[in-house]
């Protein structure tokens, strides 16, 4: 198995994430650190690396190096306390700030979802599978973010990894190496990952909670097509047009 690492996309994605985290955490308190994690596709052991928010070069170098070595590479929508050490990524209580949440649209499992709330960034993780990133206008504490994440997961109809604060999600531009379980069911192709849309939309946390709560109450009719693709996500642009802007732990999202 082999796949190209798109270093330009890796850099673009990490720059977006790091810049956004710096912007919304700025002055709110101790910023914490960002975590990248690598996972050998034949192993279940995540190995985290931690970085200050301005250390983009080290993050890019680590992500590219890990991907070239055949690892899946992930990042989180939060920072963790700066003194976190060891091989554990940290639980909810180790979260410093949450600055975004993600919907995991996993069509492979029949959980593509039916999302009509416009995301900030769309990452294609393999053909037909997407991570929809919702970036906040301000950083918020873990307990507040958990309420929003739970509402998103209940509404989206996507994979169970949706809206989980401690979850990590693929770094765009790094290959998607199939796990042993996927290989066992015949998926042996290494897939590229890419940014398919960057809308520039930032979400006030309270507004995002309301958007997904409203969507949940007005669920799509039975048999309605799943909606997690970049083109499908645009249908909510009018409904989500409020403010223009711009951007123990579980395993990592692996569609």
pTM of the predicted model as reported, rounded to 2 decimal places: 0.86
The answer to whether the beta carbons of residues 202 and 101 sit under 8 Å apart is no
Query: 51-63 pLDDT, tens per residue?
Result: 999 999 999 999 9
pLDDT at 2: 52
pLDDT at 197: 97
Dmax (CA) for the chain in angstroms is 49
pLDDT at 215: 63
Which pair of tokens denotes residue 151?
A: 């509402």
- Quick one: pLDDT band at residue 245, thresholds 50, 70, 90? very low
Please report the beta strands in 128-238, taking only residues with DSSP state E, as ranges in sequence order.
Answer: 129-140, 168-170, 194-198
- Quick one: pLDDT band at residue 72, thresholds 50, 70, 90? very high
pLDDT at 36: 98
pLDDT at 16 over 90: yes
Task: State how far the Cα of 171 lies from the Cα of 169, in Å rounded to an integer.
Answer: 7
pLDDT at 149 over 70: yes
Torsion sign (Cα): 169, 173, 174, 177: positive
Work out the number of other CB atoms within 10 angstroms of the CB of residue 59: 27
The helix or strand, by DSSP H or E, that contains position 123, with its residue range, turns out to be strand 121-126
pLDDT at 137 over 70: yes
Task: State how far the Cα of 173 lies from the Cα of 36, in Å rounded to an integer.
Answer: 14
Lowest-pLDDT range of 59-63, 183-187, 209-213: 183-187
> Average model confidence (pLDDT) for the chain?
86
Q: What is the mean pLDDT of residues 66-72?
A: 96
pLDDT at 251: 64
Domain 7-236 belongs to what topology? Alpha-Beta Plaits (3.30.70)
Q: What is the mean pLDDT of residues 165-180?
A: 95
Task: State how far the Cα of 59 lies from the Cα of 79, in Å rounded to an integer.
Answer: 14
Residue with tokens 């989180």: 76
Q: What is the mean pLDDT of residues 203-216?
A: 90
- Quick one: pLDDT band at residue 130, thresholds 50, 70, 90? very high
The answer to whether the beta carbons of residues 242 and 153 sit under 8 Å apart is no
pLDDT at 250: 54
Q: What helix, strand, coil percent values describe the chain, rounded to 5?
A: 30, 25, 45
pLDDT at 239 over 90: no
Supply the DSSP string of 54-95, one letter for each residue.
T-HHHHHHHHHHHHHTT-EEEEESEEE-TT--SS----GGGE
């Amino acid at each position: 198995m082999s796949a190209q690492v798109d270093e330009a996309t890796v850099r673009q994605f990490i720059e977006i994430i790091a810049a956004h985290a710096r912007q919304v955490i700025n002055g709110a308190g101790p910023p914490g650190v960002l975590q990248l994690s690598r996972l050998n596709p034949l192993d279940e052991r995540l190995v985290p690396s931690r970085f200050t928010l301005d250390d983009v070069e080290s993050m890019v170098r680590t992500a590219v190096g890990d991907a070239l070595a055949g690892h899946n590479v992930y990042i989180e929508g939060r920072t963790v306390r700066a003194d976190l050490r060891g091989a554990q990524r940290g639980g909810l209580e180790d979260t410093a700030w949450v600055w975004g949440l993600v919907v995991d649209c996993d069509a492979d499992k029949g959980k593509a979802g039916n999302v009509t709330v416009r995301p900030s960034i769309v990452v294609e993780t393999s053909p037909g599978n997407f991570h929809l990133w919702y970036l906040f206008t301000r950083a918020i504490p873990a307990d507040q973010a958990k309420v929003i994440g739970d509402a998103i997961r209940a509404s989206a109809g996507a994979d169970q990894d949706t809206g989980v604060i401690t979850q990590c999600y693929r770094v765009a531009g790094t290959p998607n190496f199939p796990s042993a379980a996927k290989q066992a069911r015949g998926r042996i192709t290494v897939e590229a990952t890419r940014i398919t849309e960057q809308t520039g939309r930032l979400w006030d946390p309270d507004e995002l909670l309301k958007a997904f709560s409203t969507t949940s109450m007005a669920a799509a009719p039975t048999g309605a097509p799943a909606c997690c693709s970049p083109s499908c996500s645009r249908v909510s642009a009018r409904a989500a047009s409020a403010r223009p802007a711009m951007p123990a732990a579980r395993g990592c999202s692996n569609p």
